[in-house]
Structure 1
């Protein structure tokens, strides 16, 4: 199950990284796409662009580096702690 979780995390992280990269490379095209929706006022389009690109980069790094650790100790840590605290008499 852990392998599936890591695989999905890396796949989604790469997806976010590739979309942010394409938005950086196609800067003017993406700004035009944001403007075409006419939801955001013209003066805030660039700020929205910067926010979305940085948020996608942050999310991709978070998923690729795995910032969200669910378990404090791994099996090896638990095994070592049990060996050190066990009574060897």
Structure 2
């Protein structure tokens, strides 16, 4: 059995969708939408691009939201490197 999308209303009355694996594991939860139609459009967009989407590795500090290492003001060489993104093929 394939995975499935579920449209639901969260605790703040926002419409969202989640992608479930065949075993029921939640793989992804969407951003908030104004209504079910927009959520359905979001599902269609995910279906359309997920099979061909590239994987991009981005590092960030979960406490500050800033990318990069522990230094508050990285050197220019580090800053330049930080903005380059490595694209990996979809698997």
TM over 0.5: no
More strand by share: 2
- Which structure: larger Rg? 1
**Which protein has greater RCO, CA pairs closer than 8 Å, 6+ apart?**
1
TM-score, normalised to structure 1, is 0.29
TM-score, normalised to structure 2, is 0.29
